[in-house]
Every structure is written in structure tokens, then in C-alpha cells.
């Protein structure tokens, strides 16, 4: 929307903007078609090899014991007044302590922060959230309810519902995208920002258009634009794709990492095998191309960016470029042997780096 009194751009410039927009959407839908064709070929290959196994889908009826481990905290629910949605979270640490809010990525849920819930509860009220559409949090049916504006507002409203006006905000992967945006839009609510394996959103949108290698790695963003088919592909062979994301040599936790146990894998399968459980998470991606690029960019609070160099989905070069958008103390640590699933892959190192950053910033303020 133009500001009152603002002059309209000349016709030539308007034409250039329209042409760029046309090319952008042509790229989006063309690549979406390519990804769909590749997925279709994989489906046919699977049917040809093991037709009986391809469509097997086991709904897990009971949660594994690890999801109710009391050492991780207490399961809680909060209903947001504006949206009316009920959010699920797990909280550890005493009420009244400074808030540390944890935002998971895809395809994850609150449990991906289990190592951090145990670690930081000594000094923080640690809250690991199920984002809108995930796990036990309500999942609106229409994709329009998953626009970035809604996801950012969720975090603001949850913070207030928990009785806080500021927090240490930590996000991984898609949760990292949301954490960056909350820090940009509501800087007064974020005392310190910690992001794991996701660059500043402006870096991501600019880099992906200039580097075909990253465009290929982000192919799932385009594939997810299709209705129902991505969810269907995840269910094949009893969620083989989900399992391989965390365990395969190509995308999973590295050889030197803290691998997921059989019970950990069952926790993920329990959550995502429920009917309709994948639609909300994938809907997060279905509005992304209409929400970026950003109008505002700067991050003004102390920021820590942690990065697993073996990330199969994000090129490490984006981590260093992120520095230009942070107008405060910025620390980048790249772990050479770590994967995309960094806080689960190298929990001890990640926790130590977070503690160092938090203590360092406290000392800096005192001085």
C-alpha cells in the first residue's frame, strides 16, 4: 500500500516490477512441477519394488514413555484470545525466572529441544512450544491461517499469555525463520536472539535466487506448494521419508553426532502418524512465497547464530552473510562435523555455546 502523498512509480519501473514478479512466480511453479515429477517417479519406483509395503501406514495409538519424561518438564496448554487457538508446550524451570522460548523446525515438535529443557531449567523458565499446526497445538484447516504474520503474532501473544514481556528467543530451522521475524517486528520482546541453522530471511531469499545449488537443496519449499500430495508422500512405507531425514547418511545426524534412539524415532512417528498431522506443518510453507521478501531487515539485539556445516539443506555461506543484518553484537559458530539437526546432533556443545553467549552478554551489560 502506498503512503499518502507518495508519487507513483513511472510506467517503465512498474513494468519492470511486474516482469520480475512474473518471472518469480514462473520459477516457483515450474520448480514445483519438477519436484512433483521427481516425487512421482520415486512413488512409481517404490510401487514397482515393494507394492505391499509402499502404502503401509501405521497410526501409533500410544505415546512412547519419553514424551512423558518428568525430567523434561510439564505439559501445559494456553489459549490465545485473538486467534482462539490452543497451544501446547512443555515447560521446565521455576515460574518467575527469565523466560527462554524455544521454537522447533520441520518436521519436528517440542521434543527436539529435550536436551535444552533439561540444561537451562536451572536458571530459566524454559518453554518448548508446539508451533501452530504441530502436535497437540490446534491446526487451522486453511493455509491462509499459516501466513508469517499469523505465526509471528502467535509468539507475541503466547509471550503475553505466559505473563512475560520479553524472553531469550531460540529457533531452529523453520522456527529460526520465525525467531528472526519476531526479533525484527517486536525487538522490545527479545532480549537475546539465538538461531540454529537458519540464516536471516533476507539472506535466504536473495541467496536462493542467485545460487542454483541452494535452490535445489530448498526444493521441498516448492514441492510443498502442492495440495495433499506432499502429505501423501510422507506416509509411504510407514513414514520412511521422516525416518530417513534424521537417520540417513545424506540428511541425518552425522557419524560423530548424538543419534536418535529407537524411542526418539517412535516419538516422531507417534506425532506425525496421526491422521491430518502433516497438513498443518506443511501449510507453514504454502504461503511463504507471498510473504517474502521483507520490508524491514535489521536485528538490533545481541545475536548468536549456530550452524552445522554438514547441513544438507542450507549452505554454510549464508551464515556469514547474515552478519550484515545484525546491528548489535553478533557471534557465529560453525560446527564442522554437525548436521542440520544441530541441537539434537551436538547437544553438549550447543548448550555450552549458548551458556557462554548468555553469560557473556550479561557480563557485557554490567560493564
From the list 285, 311, 325, 345, the catalytic residue is: 285
Q: What is the DSSP letter of 346?
A: S
With b meaning 16 or more CB within 10 Å and e meaning fewer, what string describes 225-244? Answer: bbeeebbebbbbeebbbbbe
C-alpha to C-alpha distance for 286 and 280, rounded to whole angstroms: 10
Instruction: Identify which of 131, 27, 125, 149 has the alpha carbon closest to the alpha carbon of residue 87.
Output: 131
Query: DSSP H helical segments within 125-200, as ranges?
Result: 148-161, 174-185
Which of helix, strand or coil describes residue 201? helix
Give 87-91 contacts, CB < 8 A, sequence gap 24+: 87/129, 87/130, 87/132, 87/137, 87/138, 87/154, 87/158, 88/129, 88/130, 88/135, 88/136, 88/137, 89/127, 89/128, 89/129, 89/130, 89/158, 90/117, 90/127, 90/128, 91/125, 91/126, 91/127, 91/128
Determine whether 173 is an active site residue.
yes
Q: What is the DSSP letter of 66?
A: G
Residue 78: which H helix or E strand, with range?
A: strand 74-79
Determine whether 340 is an active site residue.
yes
Find out whether 344 and 351 touch, Cβ atoms under 8 Å. no
From the list 88, 104, 284, 340, the catalytic residue is: 340
C-alpha to C-alpha distance for 242 and 240, rounded to whole angstroms: 5
Instruction: Identify which of 86, 90, 88 has the alpha carbon closest to the alpha carbon of residue 69.
Output: 90
Instruction: Identify which of 211, 251, 3, 8 has the alpha carbon closest to the alpha carbon of residue 106.
Output: 251
From the list 173, 264, 311, 345, the catalytic residue is: 173
What are phi and psi for residue 74, nearest 5 degrees? Answer: -115, 135
Burial of 98 per CB tally in 10 Å (0-12, 13-18, 19+): middle
- Point out the residues that are catalytic: 173, 285, 340
Amino acid at each position: 500500500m502506498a503512503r499518502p502523498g507518495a508519487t507513483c512509480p513511472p510506467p517503465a519501473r512498474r513494468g519492470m516490477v511486474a516482469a520480475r514478479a512474473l518471472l518469480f512466480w514462473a520459477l516457483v511453479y515450474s520448480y514445483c512441477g519438477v519436484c512433483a515429477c521427481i516425487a512421482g517417479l520415486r512413488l512409481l519406483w517404490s510401487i514397482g519394488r515393494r507394492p505391499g509395503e509402499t502404502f503401509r501406514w501405521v497410526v501409533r495409538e500410544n505415546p512412547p514413555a519419553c514424551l512423558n519424561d518428568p525430567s523434561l518438564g510439564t505439559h501445559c496448554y494456553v489459549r490465545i484470545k485473538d486467534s482462539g487457538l490452543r497451544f501446547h508446550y512443555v515447560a521446565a524451570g521455576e515460574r518467575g525466572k527469565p523466560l527462554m522460548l524455544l521454537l522447533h523446525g520441520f518436521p519436528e515438535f517440542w521434543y527436539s529441544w529435550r536436551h535444552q529443557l533439561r540444561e537451562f531449567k536451572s536458571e530459566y523458565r524454559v518453554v518448548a512450544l508446539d508451533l501452530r499446526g504441530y502436535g497437540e497445538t490446534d491446526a487451522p484447516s486453511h493455509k491462509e491461517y499459516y501466513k508469517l504474520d499469523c505465526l509471528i503474532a502467535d509468539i507475541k501473544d503466547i509471550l503475553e499469555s505466559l505473563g512475560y514481556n520479553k524472553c531469550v528467543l531460540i529457533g531452529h530451522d523453520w522456527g529460526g525463520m520465525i525467531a528472526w521475524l519476531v526479533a525484527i517486528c517486536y525487538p522490545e520482546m527479545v532480549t537475546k536472539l539465538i538461531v540454529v541453522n537458519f540464516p536471516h530471511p533476507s539472506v535466504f531469499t536473495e541467496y536462493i535466487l542467485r545460487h542454483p545449488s541452494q535452490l535445489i537443496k530448498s526444493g521441498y519449499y516448492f514441492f510443498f506448494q502442492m495440495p495433499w500430495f506432499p502429505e501423501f508422500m510422507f506416509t509411504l512405507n510407514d513414514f520412511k521419508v521422516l525416518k530417513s531425514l534424521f537417520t540417513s547418511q545424506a540428511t541425518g545426524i552425522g557419524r560423530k553426532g548424538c543419534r536418535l534412539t529407537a524411542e526418539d524415532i517412535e516419538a516422531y512417528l507417534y506425532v506425525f502418524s496421526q491422521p491430518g498431522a502433516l497438513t498443518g506443518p506443511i501449510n507453514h510453507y504454502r504461503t511463504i512465497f507471498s510473504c517474502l521478501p521483507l520490508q524491514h531487515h535489521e536485528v538490533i539485539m545481541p545475536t548468536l547464530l549456530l550452524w552445522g556445516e554438514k547441513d544438507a539443506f542450507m549452505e554454510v555461506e549464508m551464515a556469514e552473510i547474515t552478519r550484515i543484518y545484525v546491528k548489535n553484537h553478533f557471534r557465529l559458530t560453525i560446527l564442522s562435523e554437525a548436521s542440520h539437526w544441530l541441537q539434537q546432533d551436538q547437544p553438549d556443545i550447543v548448550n555450552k555455546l549458548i551458556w557462554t553467549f548468555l553469560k557473556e552478554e550479561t557480563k557485557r551489560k554490567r560493564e
